[in-house]
Amino acid sequence: MLSTPELVLRLILSAVAGGAVGVEREANNRPAGLRTHVLVTLGSTLIMIISMYGFDGFGVDGLGGDPARLGAQVVSGIGFLGAGTILRTGNNISGLTTAASIWVCGGIGLAIGNGYYTGGIATTLIVLFTLKGLSASEKYLFKVKYKELVIFSKERPGLLGDLGKIMGKNNVIIKDIRVMSDQDLSDDEREIVVRFRVKLPSKFFNDRFFTEVMAVRGIHHASWETDF
Query: Which residue, of 119, 139, 159, is where some domain finishes?
Result: 139
pLDDT reported for residue 33 = 75
Handedness of CA 105, 106, 109, 114 (dihedral sign): negative
pLDDT reported for residue 134 = 72
At 203, is the pLDDT very low, low, confident or very high (cuts 50, 70, 90)? confident
- pTM attached to this predicted model: 0.54
Do residues 103 and 170 both lie within one domain?
no
Q: Is the pLDDT score of 227 beyond 50?
A: no
Do residues 151 and 210 both lie within one domain?
yes
Q: Is the pLDDT score of 228 beyond 50?
A: no
Handedness of CA 71, 75, 76, 77 (dihedral sign): positive
Model confidence pLDDT, tens digit, residues 8-48: 898 999 989 888 888 877 776 666 678 888 888 888 888 88
Domain count for the chain, please give it: 2
- CATH code for the domain in which residue 166 is found: 3.30.70.260
Give the E-state strand segments of 62-102 in sequence order: 87-89, 92-94
Q: Name the residue among 148, 159, 162 with its Cα closest to residue 191.
A: 159
Q: Name the residue among 16, 25, 75 with its Cα closest to residue 51.
A: 75
Do residues 199 and 122 both lie within one domain?
no
Do residues 129 and 165 both lie within one domain?
no
Q: Which residues of 158-175 are buried (b: 16+ CB within 10 A; e: fewer)?
A: ebbebbeebbeebebeee
- Rounded distance between C-alpha atoms, residue 33 and residue 49, angstroms: 25
pLDDT reported for residue 18 = 86
Amino acid identity at 147:
K
For 64, the domain range is 4-139
- Residues of the chain with pLDDT > 70, as a percent, come to 75
Do residues 134 and 178 both lie within one domain?
no
Do residues 117 and 200 both lie within one domain?
no
pLDDT reported for residue 27 = 74
Share in percent of the chain as helix, strand, coil (round to 5): 55, 20, 25
Query: Which residue, of 112, 139, 166, is where some domain finishes?
Result: 139
Do residues 61 and 98 both lie within one domain?
yes
Do residues 115 and 221 both lie within one domain?
no
pLDDT reported for residue 61 = 47
Model confidence pLDDT, tens digit, residues 161-183: 999 999 999 999 998 888 887 66
Do residues 180 and 106 both lie within one domain?
no
Amino acid identity at 181:
S
pLDDT reported for residue 187 = 57
Cβ atoms of residues 26 and 85 within 8 Å: no
- Rounded distance between C-alpha atoms, residue 171 and residue 64, angstroms: 66
**How much is the average pLDDT of 100-115?**
87
Q: Name the residue among 105, 99, 76 with its Cα closest to residue 86.
A: 99
Q: How many CB atoms lie within 10 A of CB 228?
A: 14
Do residues 104 and 39 both lie within one domain?
yes
Model confidence pLDDT, tens digit, residues 114-151: 888 888 899 899 888 888 777 666 666 655 567 889 99
Q: Is the pLDDT score of 63 beyond 60?
A: no
Cβ atoms of residues 186 and 215 within 8 Å: no
Query: Which residue, of 117, 139, 161, is where some domain finishes?
Result: 139
pLDDT reported for residue 60 = 45
